Structure 1
Protein backbone atom coordinates (compact mmCIF):
# COMPACT_ATOMS: atom_id res chain seq x y z
CA UNK A 1 0.00 0.00 0.00
CA UNK A 2 2.85 2.37 0.80
CA UNK A 3 4.50 1.64 -2.54
CA UNK A 4 1.30 2.38 -4.35
CA UNK A 5 1.01 5.78 -2.72
CA UNK A 6 4.63 6.53 -3.44
CA UNK A 7 4.23 5.63 -7.06
CA UNK A 8 1.12 7.78 -7.35
CA UNK A 9 2.90 10.79 -5.85
CA UNK A 10 5.78 10.31 -8.21
CA UNK A 11 3.44 10.34 -11.18
CA UNK A 12 1.82 13.52 -9.95
CA UNK A 13 5.14 15.24 -9.55
CA UNK A 14 6.20 14.18 -13.01
CA UNK A 15 3.01 15.55 -14.49
CA UNK A 16 3.56 18.87 -12.77
CA UNK A 17 7.13 19.01 -14.01
CA UNK A 18 5.99 18.18 -17.54
CA UNK A 19 3.49 21.00 -17.47
CA UNK A 20 6.15 23.45 -16.27
CA UNK A 21 8.52 22.37 -19.05
CA UNK A 22 5.85 22.90 -21.63
CA UNK A 23 5.19 26.41 -20.34
CA UNK A 24 8.88 27.25 -20.33
CA UNK A 25 9.29 25.99 -23.86
CA UNK A 26 6.28 28.05 -24.93
CA UNK A 27 7.75 31.28 -23.51
CA UNK A 28 11.34 30.41 -24.59
CA UNK A 29 12.63 30.01 -21.08
CA UNK A 30 15.68 27.78 -20.35
CA UNK A 31 15.26 25.35 -17.48
CA UNK A 32 18.15 24.97 -15.08
CA UNK A 33 18.27 21.34 -13.90
CA UNK A 34 19.53 22.47 -10.55
CA UNK A 35 16.08 23.68 -9.69
CA UNK A 36 14.40 20.32 -9.77
CA UNK A 37 13.09 18.99 -6.58
CA UNK A 38 15.76 17.18 -4.60
CA UNK A 39 13.36 14.83 -3.03
CA UNK A 40 10.61 13.43 -5.13
CA UNK A 41 8.72 12.54 -2.04
CA UNK A 42 9.02 15.94 -0.48
CA UNK A 43 7.11 19.19 -1.33
CA UNK A 44 8.17 21.82 -3.85
CA UNK A 45 11.20 23.30 -1.99
CA UNK A 46 12.74 25.51 -4.55
CA UNK A 47 11.23 28.01 -6.80
CA UNK A 48 12.39 27.95 -10.35
CA UNK A 49 14.78 30.85 -10.87
CA UNK A 50 15.31 31.92 -14.47
CA UNK A 51 18.91 32.13 -15.62
CA UNK A 52 20.64 35.46 -15.89
CA UNK A 53 20.90 35.20 -19.64
CA UNK A 54 17.24 34.58 -20.13
CA UNK A 55 15.04 37.02 -22.01
CA UNK A 56 13.27 39.47 -19.77
CA UNK A 57 9.61 38.86 -19.61
CA UNK A 58 7.65 41.18 -21.82
CA UNK A 59 6.25 44.24 -20.19
CA UNK A 60 2.57 43.97 -19.93
CA UNK A 61 1.14 46.59 -22.28
CA UNK A 62 -1.47 48.62 -20.59
CA UNK A 63 -4.08 49.86 -23.04
CA UNK A 64 -5.52 53.14 -21.83
CA UNK A 65 -9.01 53.46 -23.13
CA UNK A 66 -9.68 56.79 -24.90
CA UNK A 67 -11.49 59.41 -22.91
CA UNK A 68 -15.10 59.50 -23.75
CA UNK A 69 -16.14 62.85 -25.18
CA UNK A 70 -19.80 63.13 -24.99
CA UNK A 71 -21.20 65.75 -27.34
CA UNK A 72 -24.52 66.94 -26.12
CA UNK A 73 -27.14 66.48 -28.74
CA UNK A 74 -28.15 69.59 -30.57
CA UNK A 75 -31.50 71.04 -29.70
CA UNK A 76 -32.21 71.78 -33.35
CA UNK A 77 -34.71 69.32 -34.61
CA UNK A 78 -34.77 68.96 -38.36
CA UNK A 79 -38.36 68.85 -39.46
CA UNK A 80 -39.23 65.80 -41.42
CA UNK A 81 -39.24 66.29 -45.14
CA UNK A 82 -42.66 65.98 -46.61
CA UNK A 83 -42.23 63.60 -49.48
CA UNK A 84 -45.85 63.55 -50.43
CA UNK A 85 -46.63 64.93 -53.89
CA UNK A 86 -49.21 67.74 -53.63
CA UNK A 87 -52.25 67.34 -55.71
CA UNK A 88 -52.64 69.96 -58.42
CA UNK A 89 -56.05 71.48 -58.49
CA UNK A 90 -57.42 71.51 -61.97
CA UNK A 91 -59.48 74.58 -62.69
CA UNK A 92 -62.35 73.89 -65.02
CA UNK A 93 -61.98 75.74 -68.32
CA UNK A 94 -63.67 79.10 -68.35
CA UNK A 95 -66.12 79.46 -71.14
CA UNK A 96 -64.96 82.31 -73.32
CA UNK A 97 -67.62 84.92 -73.76
CA UNK A 98 -67.27 87.07 -76.85
CA UNK A 99 -68.39 90.57 -76.00
CA UNK A 100 -69.62 92.41 -79.07
CA UNK A 101 -67.83 95.70 -79.66
CA UNK A 102 -69.59 98.70 -78.27
CA UNK A 103 -70.33 101.15 -81.07
CA UNK A 104 -68.68 104.46 -80.55
CA UNK A 105 -70.98 107.44 -80.21
CA UNK A 106 -71.08 109.71 -83.20
CA UNK A 107 -68.75 112.66 -82.97
CA UNK A 108 -70.34 115.87 -81.80
CA UNK A 109 -71.42 118.15 -84.58
CA UNK A 110 -68.75 120.56 -85.50
CA UNK A 111 -69.71 124.18 -85.46
CA UNK A 112 -70.29 125.49 -88.90
CA UNK A 113 -67.37 127.54 -89.95
CA UNK A 114 -68.52 130.39 -92.08
CA UNK A 115 -66.34 131.08 -95.01
CA UNK A 116 -64.52 134.27 -94.36
CA UNK A 117 -64.13 136.23 -97.50
CA UNK A 118 -61.15 138.49 -97.19
CA UNK A 119 -61.95 142.10 -97.89
CA UNK A 120 -61.21 143.31 -101.36
CA UNK A 121 -58.13 145.42 -101.43
CA UNK A 122 -58.84 148.90 -102.85
CA UNK A 123 -61.93 148.14 -104.99
CA UNK A 124 -63.27 150.68 -107.49
CA UNK A 125 -65.72 153.10 -105.83
CA UNK A 126 -68.43 155.35 -107.37
CA UNK A 127 -67.68 159.02 -106.74
CA UNK A 128 -70.66 160.72 -108.44
CA UNK A 129 -73.46 160.48 -111.03
CA UNK A 130 -73.75 163.36 -113.55
CA UNK A 131 -75.27 164.38 -116.88
CA UNK A 132 -73.86 166.65 -119.61
CA UNK A 133 -77.26 168.38 -119.52
CA UNK A 134 -77.15 170.72 -116.55
CA UNK A 135 -80.78 171.83 -116.57
CA UNK A 136 -83.89 171.85 -118.79
CA UNK A 137 -87.42 170.43 -119.25
CA UNK A 138 -87.93 167.60 -121.67
CA UNK A 139 -91.01 165.83 -123.07
CA UNK A 140 -89.06 163.41 -125.22
CA UNK A 141 -85.59 162.70 -126.34
CA UNK A 142 -82.48 161.03 -124.88
CA UNK A 143 -80.81 162.08 -121.66
CA UNK A 144 -77.16 160.91 -121.25
CA UNK A 145 -76.22 159.92 -117.67
CA UNK A 146 -72.64 159.11 -116.56
CA UNK A 147 -71.51 157.11 -113.53
CA UNK A 148 -67.96 158.05 -112.44
CA UNK A 149 -65.50 155.78 -110.53
CA UNK A 150 -62.33 156.66 -108.66
CA UNK A 151 -60.27 154.33 -110.86
CA UNK A 152 -60.43 152.75 -114.29
CA UNK A 153 -62.82 149.84 -114.65
CA UNK A 154 -63.80 147.37 -117.32
CA UNK A 155 -67.38 146.27 -118.02
CA UNK A 156 -68.77 143.02 -119.37
CA UNK A 157 -72.44 142.35 -120.08
CA UNK A 158 -75.15 145.03 -119.76
CA UNK A 159 -75.39 146.61 -116.32
CA UNK A 160 -78.47 148.80 -115.67
CA UNK A 161 -79.28 152.04 -113.81
CA UNK A 162 -82.80 152.25 -112.32
CA UNK A 163 -84.31 155.79 -112.58
CA UNK A 164 -87.32 157.20 -110.76
CA UNK A 165 -89.66 158.17 -113.64
CA UNK A 166 -93.10 158.37 -111.96
CA UNK A 167 -95.09 156.39 -114.54
CA UNK A 168 -94.00 153.69 -114.57
CA UNK A 169 -92.44 154.23 -111.22
CA UNK A 170 -88.97 153.17 -112.34
CA UNK A 171 -87.23 152.74 -115.64
CA UNK A 172 -84.12 150.58 -116.24
CA UNK A 173 -81.52 152.31 -118.37
CA UNK A 174 -78.99 150.09 -120.14
CA UNK A 175 -75.27 150.64 -120.15
CA UNK A 176 -73.96 151.73 -123.56
CA UNK A 177 -70.22 152.09 -123.30
CA UNK A 178 -67.49 153.32 -121.00
CA UNK A 179 -64.06 154.88 -121.00
CA UNK A 180 -61.78 154.17 -118.09
CA UNK A 181 -63.44 155.86 -115.08
CA UNK A 182 -66.85 156.76 -116.57
CA UNK A 183 -69.74 154.59 -117.69
CA UNK A 184 -72.41 156.02 -120.01
CA UNK A 185 -76.13 155.18 -119.68
CA UNK A 186 -78.69 156.58 -122.18
CA UNK A 187 -82.21 157.38 -120.89
CA UNK A 188 -84.91 157.39 -123.56
CA UNK A 189 -87.89 159.43 -122.35
CA UNK A 190 -91.06 157.34 -122.65
CA UNK A 191 -94.66 158.60 -122.78
CA UNK A 192 -96.08 159.02 -119.28
CA UNK A 193 -92.69 159.64 -117.62
CA UNK A 194 -92.43 162.62 -115.36
CA UNK A 195 -90.00 163.97 -112.73
CA UNK A 196 -89.48 167.41 -111.29
CA UNK A 197 -85.78 166.67 -110.76
CA UNK A 198 -84.52 163.52 -112.48
CA UNK A 199 -82.61 161.07 -110.25
CA UNK A 200 -82.10 157.29 -109.65
CA UNK A 201 -84.46 155.53 -107.26
CA UNK A 202 -81.96 154.48 -104.47
CA UNK A 203 -78.29 154.04 -103.58
CA UNK A 204 -78.49 150.43 -104.88
CA UNK A 205 -79.95 151.36 -108.26
CA UNK A 206 -76.83 150.25 -110.20
CA UNK A 207 -77.23 146.52 -110.93
CA UNK A 208 -74.99 144.16 -112.85
CA UNK A 209 -77.82 142.39 -114.71
CA UNK A 210 -75.55 139.38 -115.29
CA UNK A 211 -72.53 141.48 -116.21
CA UNK A 212 -69.37 142.52 -114.34
CA UNK A 213 -67.65 145.77 -113.37
CA UNK A 214 -64.08 145.35 -112.07
CA UNK A 215 -60.64 146.92 -112.09
CA UNK A 216 -57.54 145.68 -113.92
CA UNK A 217 -56.64 143.39 -110.99
CA UNK A 218 -60.02 141.66 -111.14
CA UNK A 219 -61.38 143.35 -108.01
CA UNK A 220 -65.14 143.85 -108.38
CA UNK A 221 -66.34 147.42 -108.08
CA UNK A 222 -68.34 148.73 -105.16
CA UNK A 223 -71.69 149.58 -106.77
CA UNK A 224 -73.10 151.74 -103.94
CA UNK A 225 -74.38 155.08 -105.27
CA UNK A 226 -74.57 158.35 -103.35
CA UNK A 227 -77.97 158.72 -101.72
CA UNK A 228 -80.50 160.41 -104.06
CA UNK A 229 -80.52 164.21 -103.49
CA UNK A 230 -77.19 164.10 -101.61
CA UNK A 231 -73.82 165.37 -102.78
CA UNK A 232 -72.60 163.37 -105.75
CA UNK A 233 -76.11 162.33 -106.82
CA UNK A 234 -77.65 163.12 -110.23
CA UNK A 235 -80.30 165.55 -108.88
CA UNK A 236 -77.60 167.37 -106.87
CA UNK A 237 -75.42 167.89 -109.94
CA UNK A 238 -78.17 168.67 -112.56
CA UNK A 239 -81.72 170.04 -112.65
CA UNK A 240 -83.52 168.01 -115.34
CA UNK A 241 -87.32 168.07 -115.54
CA UNK A 242 -89.15 165.28 -117.36
CA UNK A 243 -92.69 166.13 -118.47
CA UNK A 244 -94.05 163.41 -120.79
CA UNK A 245 -97.33 162.84 -118.95
CA UNK A 246 -100.37 162.77 -121.24
Structure 2
Protein backbone atom coordinates (compact mmCIF):
# COMPACT_ATOMS: atom_id res chain seq x y z
CA UNK A 1 0.00 0.00 0.00
CA UNK A 2 1.40 3.38 -1.02
CA UNK A 3 1.65 6.28 1.42
CA UNK A 4 0.74 9.92 0.83
CA UNK A 5 1.50 12.71 3.29
CA UNK A 6 -0.78 15.73 2.95
CA UNK A 7 -0.32 19.05 4.71
CA UNK A 8 -3.18 21.29 5.82
CA UNK A 9 -5.86 18.62 6.29
CA UNK A 10 -8.01 20.35 8.89
CA UNK A 11 -10.42 21.75 6.27
CA UNK A 12 -11.02 22.54 2.62
CA UNK A 13 -8.86 21.04 -0.07
CA UNK A 14 -6.52 19.12 2.22
CA UNK A 15 -9.36 17.36 4.00
CA UNK A 16 -11.01 16.38 0.73
CA UNK A 17 -7.71 15.21 -0.78
CA UNK A 18 -7.11 12.98 2.25
CA UNK A 19 -10.59 11.47 1.98
CA UNK A 20 -10.09 10.88 -1.75
CA UNK A 21 -6.86 8.95 -1.25
CA UNK A 22 -8.43 6.94 1.59
CA UNK A 23 -11.27 5.98 -0.73
CA UNK A 24 -8.68 4.76 -3.21
CA UNK A 25 -7.01 2.56 -0.59
CA UNK A 26 -3.84 4.55 0.00
CA UNK A 27 -2.13 4.82 3.34
CA UNK A 28 -2.86 8.45 4.26
CA UNK A 29 -0.84 10.61 6.64
CA UNK A 30 -3.11 13.60 7.23
CA UNK A 31 -1.28 16.45 8.93
CA UNK A 32 -2.52 19.63 10.57
CA UNK A 33 -1.40 22.05 13.25
CA UNK A 34 -3.93 20.69 15.75
CA UNK A 35 -4.89 17.06 15.01
CA UNK A 36 -8.63 16.31 14.84
CA UNK A 37 -9.74 12.70 14.59
CA UNK A 38 -13.39 13.77 14.38
CA UNK A 39 -12.89 15.00 10.82
CA UNK A 40 -12.57 11.43 9.57
CA UNK A 41 -14.34 8.14 10.02
CA UNK A 42 -12.28 5.36 11.57
CA UNK A 43 -9.90 4.08 8.90
CA UNK A 44 -7.12 1.54 9.51
CA UNK A 45 -4.90 3.18 6.90
CA UNK A 46 -5.31 6.73 8.26
CA UNK A 47 -2.66 8.38 10.41
CA UNK A 48 -3.25 11.89 11.76
CA UNK A 49 -0.13 13.79 12.79
CA UNK A 50 0.57 17.28 14.12
CA UNK A 51 2.58 19.42 11.74
CA UNK A 52 3.54 23.06 11.51
CA UNK A 53 5.24 23.61 8.14
CA UNK A 54 7.01 26.69 9.51
CA UNK A 55 8.75 24.67 12.24
CA UNK A 56 11.73 22.53 11.19
CA UNK A 57 11.46 20.35 14.29
CA UNK A 58 7.78 19.68 13.63
CA UNK A 59 8.58 18.76 10.03
CA UNK A 60 11.33 16.34 11.06
CA UNK A 61 9.05 14.66 13.61
CA UNK A 62 6.23 14.22 11.09
CA UNK A 63 8.51 12.84 8.38
CA UNK A 64 10.01 10.32 10.80
CA UNK A 65 6.61 9.24 12.13
CA UNK A 66 5.17 8.86 8.62
CA UNK A 67 7.75 6.33 7.47
CA UNK A 68 8.48 5.88 3.75
CA UNK A 69 6.52 8.44 1.73
CA UNK A 70 5.51 7.76 -1.87
CA UNK A 71 3.74 11.08 -2.42
CA UNK A 72 3.94 14.45 -0.70
CA UNK A 73 1.08 16.91 -1.22
CA UNK A 74 2.02 20.43 -0.10
CA UNK A 75 -1.41 21.90 0.45
CA UNK A 76 -1.12 23.97 3.65
CA UNK A 77 -1.48 27.67 3.01
CA UNK A 78 -2.79 30.96 4.31
CA UNK A 79 -4.11 34.02 2.54
CA UNK A 80 -4.74 37.68 3.02
CA UNK A 81 -7.12 40.00 1.24
CA UNK A 82 -6.30 43.66 1.31
CA UNK A 83 -4.52 46.55 -0.30
CA UNK A 84 -0.82 45.87 -0.50
CA UNK A 85 -0.10 49.41 0.68
CA UNK A 86 -1.86 48.64 3.97
CA UNK A 87 -0.46 45.15 4.50
CA UNK A 88 2.29 45.13 7.15
CA UNK A 89 5.52 43.39 6.21
CA UNK A 90 5.03 41.14 9.26
CA UNK A 91 1.86 39.79 7.59
CA UNK A 92 3.66 39.31 4.29
CA UNK A 93 6.45 37.37 5.98
CA UNK A 94 3.87 35.08 7.62
CA UNK A 95 2.32 34.38 4.22
CA UNK A 96 5.67 33.48 2.69
CA UNK A 97 6.70 31.43 5.73
CA UNK A 98 3.75 29.11 5.18
CA UNK A 99 2.97 29.30 1.47
CA UNK A 100 6.51 29.38 0.10
CA UNK A 101 9.16 28.47 2.67
CA UNK A 102 6.89 25.85 4.24
CA UNK A 103 6.56 24.13 0.86
CA UNK A 104 10.31 24.28 0.34
CA UNK A 105 11.07 22.93 3.81
CA UNK A 106 8.66 19.99 3.44
CA UNK A 107 10.03 19.23 0.00
CA UNK A 108 13.63 19.33 1.16
CA UNK A 109 12.76 16.97 4.01
CA UNK A 110 11.39 14.21 1.75
CA UNK A 111 13.82 14.48 -1.16
CA UNK A 112 16.55 12.26 0.32
CA UNK A 113 14.33 9.19 0.75
CA UNK A 114 12.73 9.64 -2.68
CA UNK A 115 16.08 10.22 -4.35
CA UNK A 116 17.57 7.12 -2.74
CA UNK A 117 14.61 4.98 -3.86
CA UNK A 118 14.54 6.73 -7.26
CA UNK A 119 10.76 6.95 -6.87
CA UNK A 120 8.14 9.33 -5.56
CA UNK A 121 6.10 12.38 -6.43
CA UNK A 122 5.76 15.83 -4.91
CA UNK A 123 2.61 17.85 -5.64
CA UNK A 124 2.54 21.54 -4.77
CA UNK A 125 -0.88 23.17 -4.55
CA UNK A 126 -0.82 26.80 -5.68
CA UNK A 127 -3.74 28.84 -7.05
CA UNK A 128 -5.33 30.14 -10.20
CA UNK A 129 -4.01 33.59 -9.23
CA UNK A 130 -0.78 32.36 -10.81
CA UNK A 131 -2.68 32.14 -14.11
CA UNK A 132 -4.44 35.51 -13.76
CA UNK A 133 -3.36 37.66 -10.81
CA UNK A 134 -6.27 39.22 -8.98
CA UNK A 135 -6.34 42.56 -7.15
CA UNK A 136 -6.16 42.85 -3.36
CA UNK A 137 -4.05 39.68 -3.11
CA UNK A 138 -0.60 40.84 -4.19
CA UNK A 139 1.37 39.21 -1.38
CA UNK A 140 -0.57 35.96 -1.63
CA UNK A 141 -0.11 35.89 -5.39
CA UNK A 142 3.62 36.50 -5.04
CA UNK A 143 3.96 33.63 -2.55
CA UNK A 144 2.21 31.25 -4.94
CA UNK A 145 4.09 32.47 -8.01
CA UNK A 146 7.33 31.72 -6.16
CA UNK A 147 6.16 28.14 -5.64
CA UNK A 148 5.35 27.82 -9.34
CA UNK A 149 8.88 28.81 -10.34
CA UNK A 150 10.38 26.61 -7.65
CA UNK A 151 8.31 23.63 -8.79
CA UNK A 152 9.16 24.02 -12.46
CA UNK A 153 12.87 24.16 -11.73
CA UNK A 154 12.75 21.30 -9.24
CA UNK A 155 10.90 19.08 -11.72
CA UNK A 156 13.99 19.17 -13.94
CA UNK A 157 16.37 18.71 -11.02
CA UNK A 158 14.63 15.70 -9.46
CA UNK A 159 13.61 14.19 -12.77
CA UNK A 160 17.22 13.02 -13.02
CA UNK A 161 16.43 10.73 -10.06
CA UNK A 162 13.00 9.62 -11.37
CA UNK A 163 11.22 11.74 -8.76
CA UNK A 164 8.25 13.57 -10.25
CA UNK A 165 7.23 17.11 -9.25
CA UNK A 166 3.81 18.54 -10.14
CA UNK A 167 1.60 21.61 -9.68
CA UNK A 168 -2.12 21.72 -8.93
CA UNK A 169 -3.71 25.14 -9.54
CA UNK A 170 -7.14 25.41 -7.90
CA UNK A 171 -9.62 28.06 -8.93
CA UNK A 172 -11.81 30.10 -6.61
CA UNK A 173 -13.83 28.09 -4.09
CA UNK A 174 -16.14 30.07 -1.82
CA UNK A 175 -16.56 27.04 0.46
CA UNK A 176 -12.88 27.23 1.45
CA UNK A 177 -13.55 30.68 2.97
CA UNK A 178 -10.26 32.10 1.71
CA UNK A 179 -10.24 35.18 3.89
CA UNK A 180 -11.72 33.54 6.98
CA UNK A 181 -9.36 30.56 7.08
CA UNK A 182 -6.31 32.62 7.90
CA UNK A 183 -4.73 33.94 11.07
CA UNK A 184 -4.12 37.20 9.25
CA UNK A 185 -7.09 39.50 9.76
CA UNK A 186 -8.38 41.40 6.76
CA UNK A 187 -9.84 44.19 8.87
CA UNK A 188 -8.01 47.48 8.43
CA UNK A 189 -6.34 46.24 5.24
CA UNK A 190 -8.79 48.13 3.03
CA UNK A 191 -8.09 51.84 3.63
CA UNK A 192 -10.87 54.29 2.93
CA UNK A 193 -9.12 55.41 -0.24
CA UNK A 194 -9.48 51.83 -1.60
CA UNK A 195 -13.11 51.28 -0.51
CA UNK A 196 -14.68 52.20 -3.84
CA UNK A 197 -12.23 50.02 -5.74
CA UNK A 198 -12.65 47.05 -3.38
CA UNK A 199 -16.46 46.97 -3.15
CA UNK A 200 -17.21 45.54 -6.63
CA UNK A 201 -14.36 43.05 -6.27
CA UNK A 202 -15.79 41.68 -3.04
CA UNK A 203 -19.21 41.56 -4.68
CA UNK A 204 -17.74 39.45 -7.47
CA UNK A 205 -16.19 37.12 -4.90
CA UNK A 206 -19.68 36.58 -3.49
CA UNK A 207 -21.16 35.79 -6.92
CA UNK A 208 -18.43 34.10 -8.98
CA UNK A 209 -19.40 32.98 -12.47
CA UNK A 210 -17.42 29.77 -12.14
CA UNK A 211 -16.32 28.08 -8.96
CA UNK A 212 -14.04 25.24 -7.97
CA UNK A 213 -15.33 22.40 -5.85
CA UNK A 214 -13.13 20.74 -3.26
CA UNK A 215 -13.71 17.47 -5.12
CA UNK A 216 -12.22 19.09 -8.26
CA UNK A 217 -8.99 19.73 -6.38
CA UNK A 218 -8.92 16.24 -4.90
CA UNK A 219 -9.32 14.75 -8.37
CA UNK A 220 -6.59 17.01 -9.80
CA UNK A 221 -4.18 16.04 -7.01
CA UNK A 222 -5.00 12.36 -7.59
CA UNK A 223 -4.32 12.74 -11.32
CA UNK A 224 -1.07 14.61 -10.66
CA UNK A 225 0.20 11.97 -8.24
CA UNK A 226 -0.52 9.19 -10.71
CA UNK A 227 0.65 11.02 -13.84
CA UNK A 228 3.72 9.53 -15.49
CA UNK A 229 3.99 12.03 -18.32
CA UNK A 230 5.94 15.26 -18.37
CA UNK A 231 2.84 17.33 -17.56
CA UNK A 232 3.68 19.89 -14.88
CA UNK A 233 0.44 21.84 -14.33
CA UNK A 234 -2.98 20.51 -13.37
CA UNK A 235 -5.60 23.31 -13.22
CA UNK A 236 -8.45 22.34 -10.89
CA UNK A 237 -11.99 23.59 -11.38
CA UNK A 238 -13.84 25.12 -14.30
CA UNK A 239 -12.53 28.63 -13.71
CA UNK A 240 -8.90 27.57 -13.43
CA UNK A 241 -9.20 25.40 -16.52
CA UNK A 242 -10.72 28.31 -18.45
CA UNK A 243 -7.87 30.58 -17.37
CA UNK A 244 -5.28 27.96 -18.31
CA UNK A 245 -6.70 27.76 -21.83
CA UNK A 246 -6.26 31.51 -22.33
CA UNK A 247 -2.68 31.63 -21.02
TM-score of the pair, normalised by structure 2: 0.21
Q: Relative to total residues, which structure has the larger helix share, 1 or 2?
A: 2
TM-score of the pair, normalised by structure 1: 0.21
Q: Which protein has greater RCO, CA pairs closer than 8 Å, 6+ apart?
A: 2
